[in-house]
Structure 1
Amino acid sequence: MIVVKIGGSVVCKDPTKTIQNLPKYADRAVVVHGGGCMVNDLMRRLGLEPKYLTHPGGLVSRYTDWETLKTFVMAMNWINKQIVASLHALGVPALGLTGADLGVVKAKRKEKVLIVDERGRQRVVDGGYVGRITQIDADKLLPPPLKLLAPIAVSEKGELLNVDGDQLAFDVAKAVKAQKLLLLSDVEGLYIGGKVVPHLTAPEAEKLVQSEEVRGGMKRKLLMAAEAAKTGIEVIIASGLSDSPIDTALNGAGTHITP
């Protein structure tokens, strides 16, 4: 089993090569996708401005109020069905889901979150409609058919919640007992000193999180990759824009994080 995360940067630039490579793995893969840039585009068309929160440690997340949530769900469902339609054209009877469908992904709403404000001070703010994943129904995600999962969960109270796409991919990989997790983005891997680092152990990945060369979403990816590697899952950070990106990553391209 493998889990393939199609990052938002791939979704918004050109997911064609990744989609064309998926039929080969339809019987042993689960796919998770992002699409934050498309959410932002739709929000601005609706007269809304995306907002972000900076957390202690430098991690950044989307602030999801009620209006943002509605836009998020609309955009993610559009992306989901577009990919499903593309797979259908390739002869793959894929099933597109949000975590709310069949209760596949359950989460608890983060009612309060700790942030760092523009003055550098830590304070607690309302968490909006963002969830912390609590349960994944692996049996409903296993192929056949190939499942394509959007990063939306459901709470015990029946609330739709925005969940982090990378975190969802990691949790799905653990739940389905995947051997490998591919994080496909618009970069060739983790760059240090201008070069892609081909291999890291979990402790090395944790240490690199402190490096000034590792910024933004890559910090989160490395932390999660180290955690996943400790459970026996090999994590590969690679480009989803190259030819046959899944084949290429499994054959050694990108940055491989192992126990």
Structure 2
Amino acid sequence: MTQCSDPIVIKLGGAVLSSPETLEKLFHTIAVSRQKRPVVIVHGGGYLVDELMKKLSFGTVKKNGLRVTPAEQIPFITGALAGTANKMLQGQAMKHGIHAVGMCLGDGGLCQVEVLDPALGAVGRASAGDATVVNAVIQAGATPVISSIGLTAQGEMMNVNADDAAVAVAKSLDADLVLLSDVNGVLDENKSLIKALDSETAEQLIASEVITDGMIVKVRAALDAANDLGRAIEVAGWRTPEKLADLIAGENIGTRFYPRTEK
């Protein structure tokens, strides 16, 4: 990862949003570290959506890990993600003296979004777009907090997978990417953290059953993200936010995933 003043994109998942203590530590660290390097936050908020859907008596259906989003539900999901979750994080940032700007993928054409699969409803695929507005926010000394809600060229609201959204934002900004996860990284047969992985090594570890079950999906998704972005990305644990300062400074605290073209 780059050790310079280039932006770093940090993706926060729903589990982080449900832990006030972790958010407190996380934004304290960001408040200190962002003086050395701009930070851009991309977030989901699945647990908020789940709670809202339950209150509204909407059923939750998922296909291949993606939430099926009927057209009548997208206004509510947009409200939960681009509204409640986004402002909750913006509020946490403000508590720590960070000038935060709440945004979504559609602001300033940051990401281009199209329908991923008609069978999934209002679920979008994001790709890199125009980072002019976000760069202006960063240049003004503020921290963008970007929800995973996007807009199509026709103005339709789309729910985008937060990991995919983070990759698209990082590509738009030509920035490094960190995916904060519920695991600290990938462990070897001795339960020690594996500092670096490429596709070939990962497949060997899967074949030898060192990487098993749900971790296989996480590893392949991280490698896909690195390949899509064209640079190494890091997967680190959100439960140790105090280590984030080292990561922002360019150090390796989790597992670093390398694309096929980089060693």
TM-score class, shorter = 0.7 to 0.9
Partners of 2:127 and 2:168 within 8 A in 1: no
For 1:25, the aligned partner's letter is R
Residues 165-197 of structure 1 show CA distances to partners (whole Å, capped at 9, x for unaligned) of: 11111121122111x211112211123444432
Cα 1:153–1:218, aligned 2, differ >3 Å: closer, same or farther? same
Q: How many residues align?
A: 238
Cα 1:164–1:224, aligned 2, differ >3 Å: closer, same or farther? same
Cα 1:186–1:245, aligned 2, differ >3 Å: closer, same or farther? farther
Within 5 Å, which residues of 2 pair with 1:215-230?
215=214, 218-219=218-219, 221-228=221-228
Q: Which residue of 2 aligns with 1:99?
A: 105
Partner SS, residue 42 of structure 2: strand
Cα 1:40–1:191, aligned 2, differ >3 Å: closer, same or farther? farther
For 2:27, the aligned partner's letter is I
Q: 1:40 aligns with which of 24, 30, 50?
A: 50
More helix by share: 2
Partners of 1:96 and 1:147 within 8 A in 2: yes
Please give the alpha-carbon distance, in whole angstroms, between the structure 2 residues aligned to 1:219 and 1:71. Answer: 32
More strand by share: 1
1:147 correspondence with 2:153: no
Please give the alpha-carbon distance, in whole angstroms, between the structure 2 residues aligned to 1:34 and 1:109. Answer: 18
Cα 1:243–1:132, aligned 2, differ >3 Å: closer, same or farther? closer
Partners of 1:8 and 1:185 within 8 A in 2: no
For 2:223, the aligned partner's letter is L
Q: Which residue of 2 aligns with 1:235?
A: 233
For 1:104, the aligned partner's letter is L
Q: Which residue of 1 aligns with 2:3?
A: none
Partners of 1:63 and 1:127 within 8 A in 2: yes
For 1:6, the aligned partner's letter is L
User: Once superposed, what is the RMSD of the aligned Cα atoms?
Assistant: 2.4
Please give the alpha-carbon distance, in whole angstroms, between the structure 2 residues aligned to 1:153 and 1:207. Answer: 37
Residues 188-219 of structure 1 show CA distances to partners (whole Å, capped at 9, x for unaligned) of: 11234444322113543466677661527614
Deviates more, 1:194-203 or 1:152-161: 194-203
For 2:212, the aligned partner's letter is E
List alignment gaps of at least 5 residues for structure 1.
55-59, 113-125
- Taking structure 2 as the reference length, the TM-score comes to 0.80
Partners of 1:152 and 1:163 within 8 A in 2: yes
Please give the alpha-carbon distance, in whole angstroms, between the structure 1 residues aligned to 2:122 and 2:220. Answer: 20
Partner SS, residue 223 of structure 2: helix
For 1:107, the aligned partner's letter is V
Q: Which residue of 1 aligns with 2:186?
A: 190
1:51 correspondence with 2:44: no
Cα 1:209–1:247, aligned 2, differ >3 Å: closer, same or farther? farther
Q: Which residue of 1 aligns with 2:34?
A: 25
For 1:181, the aligned partner's letter is L
Deviates more, 1:84-93 or 1:155-164: 84-93
Within 5 Å, which residues of 2 pair with 1:46-195?
46-54=56-64, 60-76=65-81, 77-112=83-118, 126-142=119-135, 143-144=138-139, 145-178=142-175, 180-193=176-189, 194-195=191-192
- 1:226 Cα deviation from its structure 2 partner: 3.5
Partners of 1:95 and 1:148 within 8 A in 2: yes
- 1:4 Cα deviation from its structure 2 partner: 0.8
